[in-house]
Amino acid sequence: MQRLGLPNLGDGVGLRDVHFRHLLDTPPEDWGVDWFEIISENFFGEHGFAGHVLDHVTAHRPVVMHGVSLSIGSTDPLDTRYLDELAALAERVRPAWISDHLCWTGVNGVTSHDLLPMPLTRRSLAHVADRVRAVQDHLGRPLILENPSSYLEFRASEIPEWEFLARLAESTGCGLLLDVNNVFVSATNHGFDAVAYVENLPAEHIVQVHLAGPGDHGHLLLDTHDGPVPDQVWQLYELVHRRTGGVATLLEWDADIPPFPDLVAELAKAATVRAGLGPPTGAGARGRARG
């Protein structure tokens, strides 16, 4: 099934500089992954060694652009210069799609360099929907938005995050990047039901899934992307697979990054889960998926 006209790319990983030499020295048929996700901002105007690696990768695999600076929830005007840079990079790499996060990253021209949570109100939903439509018009393609991890909630919030995302997708036609690790992290931190979150999203709008390992810091789980995927996240992934019939799956690993073959071995566990064989790792993190 193609969602929003977008294909299931298979199983992929993020393109990170620690793996550049491996990818150049290894025949593409031996990479062991179907596609790559790039952090868009890391490649704006990049024509050095990183740009060379990017061109090599895009010659052999599909690529998805994943941004961290769109700030779709901010009250600042949309940054048209940033959107033009996205469009220029898209012209170069021909991504399968472009994604970012349901968040804001700054206000009044000041950038926080963090993905800050939204007040989940009807007013903010209308605000974000207008901005999503404007971005889609500017880029000429659907925007794919990811659910963020969060460590605090606004008292003003009126709508559960899953309902906010569902309404946003249905009113704008945008796609959803469902980060099941972020669902698990936020559910543990705030005490909501992660299974109910996944079950209440419109499956037809889910284009991609992120998998990752969080860090347990006692009173909070943090979205650290620095370890294996825990059992609870694999359980949520299995639920997503049953609901969607299969969408592009990406393993995020951004700190303490292992050698590329080890990364591929962790990613390969996704096929075990899709086959209905259950969580493959025995790894655990505090909290549970519930349901």
- The CATH number given to whatever domain includes residue 221 is 3.20.20.150
Write the DSSP symbol of residue 273: H
In this structure, what are the phi and psi dihedrals at residue 132, rounded to the nearest 5 degrees?
-60, -45
Query: Which residue ranges in the chain fall short of pLDDT 70?
Result: 1-2, 110, 112, 281-291
**Beta bridge partner(s), residue 188:** none
DSSP state of 203: G
Name the residue range of residue 130's domain: 11-274
Residue 185 located in a structural domain? yes
Cα–Cα dist 91/86, whole Å: 9
The pLDDT assigned to 217 comes to: 78
Antiparallel, parallel or unpaired: β 221-222 and 215-216: antiparallel
Coil, strand or helix at 180: helix
Domain membership of residue 290 (yes or no) is no
pLDDT attached to residue 113: 78
The answer to whether residue 56 sits within a structural domain is yes
What is the pLDDT at residue 8? Answer: 97
Which amino acid is present at 53? V
Query: In the Cβ-directed half-sphere of 83, how many Cα atoms lie within 13 Å?
Result: 17
| Domain assignment of residue 50, yes or no | yes
Look at residues 258, 257, 250 and name the one whose alpha carbon lies nearest to residue 233. Answer: 250
Whole-angstrom Cα distance, residue 198 to residue 237? 9
Spatial separation of the C-alpha atoms in residues 15 and 69, rounded to whole Å: 18
Structural domain includes residue 282 = no
187 inside domain: yes
Distances (CA, A) of 185 to 229, 231, 240: 12, 13, 16
Residue 255 lies in a domain: yes
Q: Is residue 286 a part of any domain in this protein?
A: no
Identify the DSSP state of 148: P
- Tally the residues of the chain: 291
Record the pTM. 0.94
Intra-chain end-to-end CA distance of the chain, in Å: 27
What pLDDT was estimated at residue 68? 96
178 three-state secondary structure: strand
Query: How many domains, the chain?
Result: 1
Residues 59 and 248: their CA atoms lie apart, in Å, by 19
Phi, psi of 91 (to 5 degrees): -65, -35
pLDDT for the residue numbered 2: 57
pLDDT of 114: 81
Residue 81 CB burial class (10 angstroms; 0-12, 13-18, ≥19): exposed
> Got the DSSP string for 11-48?
EEEE--GGGHHHHHHS-GGGS--SEEEEEGGGGTT--S
Distance CA 236, CA 66 (A): 22
